[in-house]
Structure 1
């Protein structure tokens, strides 16, 4: 049976990283540790970031692998990291990092659902102010 796209162990709350590279390594490492991707996927996330920034606005970045990284995805999954302090992401402040791995074309619906969830200013503020992993998870239960 396939595992859920988002599980509580895929969420990091109040993390402290210094750079976007650290952030990508952290969310990618969690995707790998929890069985969603092969280790090589993390390198593909870094490559993707070099091609185009995954900064989305409103303190949000959504790092994911390159097109050829799909073969490294075992199961679709996301990891969410809410930072204690914002970090610089190509000249922008980021506090919420969502790592994405989509099997086949599932990454498109995952990206779309994340965009919808984070598009409302009020909802995004509540996400950024979430006090626990469980509270964070409640905002993203619909992401599949």
Structure 2
């Protein structure tokens, strides 16, 4: 099972707040079988204790350390919000990358995601992607390095 697949990508999403956005990112991970349902609450809990907004229009919601046992396999979800959603101090996130990682894989994944998003061109391509396949292509080329 790929850590990112078309069924874990949602484009053109409209949300009322960051919590709805986080739940959508988390639900994609639940539906794909990477995590169990309570992981969603752990993602919200994590956001309340420390914002997962990374800057540059990107947020990387994930669960708390205590939620590790709720993860069955490593996976990513991507939610693209064209109008953005306020995340912290007036900063808007346009792209959410939900993460569930088994063991110590989360550091490698976070590093890879950071590398992908360190290139403005990738951020724009993901924001304006017309299909899930376009996003997968960007991630796969960024994850290989």
- Verify same fold: TM over 0.5: yes
Unmatched 5+ residue regions in structure 2? none
1:88 aligns with 2:102: no
The equivalences for 1:1-144 within 5 A come to: 3-90=1-88, 91-141=90-140, 142-143=142-143
Q: What is the DSSP-based 3-state SS (H/G/I as helix, E as strand, rest coil) of the residue aligned with 2:11?
A: strand
Structure 1, unmatched stretches of 5+, are none
* Cα distance in structure 1, aligned partners of 2:125 and 2:4: 19
- Which secondary structure does the structure 1 equivalent of 2:12 belong to? strand
Shift of 1:48: 0.5
Measured on the aligned residues, the alpha-carbon RMSD in Å equals 1.2
TM-score w.r.t. length of structure 2: 0.93
Aligned length: 142
After TM superposition, the runs of 4+ consecutive aligned structure 1 residues lying more than 4 A away are none
- Alpha carbons 2:58, 2:96 under 8 Å: kept: yes
